[in-house]
Amino acid sequence: MEMVKIISYELIVPSEKTPKNPLWLSNLDITARKGYTTTVYFYRSNKNTSLDFSVESLKLSLAKTLVPFYLLAGRLGTDKNGRMQINCTGEGVLFVVAHSDATLEDIDSFVPTNETRNLFVPLTPQPDIPLMLQVTVFKCGGIALGTALHHIFADGRSAFHFFETWANIARGEVNCIEQPWLDRTLLRARLDPKGMFDPLEYISDPKPIISSSISTSYASSIIKISKKHITLLKLHCGDTDGAHVSVFRAITALIWRCICMARTLDTNSKSRLYTMIDMRSRMCPPLPPTYFGNAAIRTSVSAVVGDIISGSINHVAKRIHEATSQGDDYARSLIDSLETIDMEKLPRSGLPASDLRVISWLGMPMYKADFGLGEPILLSPAMMHYSGYVYLMDSPGKDAGVSIVIALEPENMLAFKELLFKELAALEV
């Protein structure tokens, strides 16, 4: 990939006066990863729109979008008790314009790495800005939109809501704007806490992971699974009575098995799968669909490696189901429990070489970010955080299946791919 040349930096502020009251953060916000979620959208050139107008219209529409999403123009701060909050200062978001001598044909081999993140996404400034954007113009007229959104401000569903809204405003479709729900007190801990417990995923390990057991380097890949193979996989993961199995659980079960085999883990050892559950529709009453913040909870499940490898894929999918079926009682108890934990000392590092983390973006409005150039032809995380990290996301286009975006130890990636394709091929027998 050719080097990217930065043309300009600019802070975009809301186009109208916005509220200045600070916004309270829930325990789920404060315990979110203290860093940015980075993505890159790629678009083909629109010959009917001049390039300069496109970039300028993005700035103008962004300023309008920051009116309802004014918290993103603020900064992280603390209240009088030292609790983290969002100070709605209206200082703005970072907007970078860059040029590249490359063409969109060069992104055919795109994979998320630290290097690609540095090319297409602005680097973290001081002080931290919650939202940073970079528009890179290619020689062919195509465009890359790189984004970095601080995780404490929003989870994945909230992030895609923002980008969809921005795109709608950019196209002039203001009648279909869904206002964000910014009141996070819906997830406040109860005055009379119940079901207190020590959630494994939110406490520091009393026996810290030895640094040598964490892979500091990774190879990354984007692997597409067809709808045909997804259907066959769900059938193999289903019960004999035809019980429904979600796409997430079916694909994750297969990934878990193939990773254990690729890593040649001891069959008597244990492997742990970490993931997140969006609780918006599972709370009682449900949260507003446009709740803007972190409404996903961490969960995990462990299993003996031998059972994962040799047992039925149905059994693995059932174990995942057990860990991802939590409802209101669990979420409320978790939020209560976080009141008793020092949230500044939560584990936020990588994973031991036996474990993996799978994040689902399935079913999210990822490809509705049409700024007048059509839907993105490719959307991907810009980088991966560490080995064992996996994203599941819908592939672009109708009936396109699912894309697995995975980071794995370089020495194990080839074996993982071969095992995955072998397992998929066996489904057709």
Q: Which CATH number covers residue 11?
A: 3.30.559.10
Among the listed residues 225, 244, 323, 326, the one whose alpha carbon sits nearest the alpha carbon of residue 279: 326
Same domain, 261 and 402: yes
For residue 193, the model assigns a pLDDT of 74
What is the domain range of residue 240? 206-426
Is 381 among the domain residues? Answer: yes
**Integer Rg of the chain from CA:** 22
Domain final residue, candidates 156, 187, 218: 187
C-alpha 417/C-alpha 403 separation (Å) is 13
* CB-CB neighbours of 308 under 10 Å: 25
Q: In angstroms, what CA-CA distances link 315 with 237, 305, 360?
A: 8, 13, 21
Same domain, 168 and 313: no
Domain final residue, candidates 160, 187, 214: 187
Same domain, 151 and 221: no
Is 66 among the domain residues? Answer: yes
Annotated catalytic residues are 151, 370
For residue 347, the model assigns a pLDDT of 58
Is 196 among the domain residues? Answer: no
C-alpha 163/C-alpha 368 separation (Å) is 8
Domain final residue, candidates 155, 187, 219: 187
Spans of the chain below 50 pLDDT: 49-51, 206-212, 240-242
Same domain, 159 and 245: no
* CB-CB neighbours of 102 under 10 Å: 19
Is 422 among the domain residues? Answer: yes
Same domain, 181 and 229: no
Same domain, 173 and 220: no
User: Which residues have a Cβ under 8 Å from the Cβ of 151 and sit 6 or more positions away?
Assistant: 32, 33, 34, 35, 36, 37, 294
Is there a contact between 142 and 43 (Cβ–Cβ < 8 Å)? yes
Same domain, 162 and 273: no
How many CA within 13 A on the CB side of residue 352?
12
Same domain, 42 and 87: yes
For residue 240, the model assigns a pLDDT of 43
Same domain, 168 and 216: no
Same domain, 249 and 172: no
Is there a contact between 102 and 64 (Cβ–Cβ < 8 Å)? no
Is 136 among the domain residues? Answer: yes
Strand order in the sheet with 36-43: 4-12, 93-100, 131-137, 143-150, 36-43, 378-381
Same domain, 229 and 169: no
Is 200 among the domain residues? Answer: no
Number of structural domains, the chain? Answer: 2
- DSSP strands (E only) in 159-295: 219-225, 270-278
Same domain, 302 and 378: yes
C-alpha 309/C-alpha 196 separation (Å) is 35
pTM: 0.93
Is 68 among the domain residues? Answer: yes
SS3 211: helix
Is 201 among the domain residues? Answer: no
For residue 210, the model assigns a pLDDT of 45
For residue 177, the model assigns a pLDDT of 85
SS3 182: coil
Is there a contact between 145 and 43 (Cβ–Cβ < 8 Å)? yes
Token output for 6:
């930065």
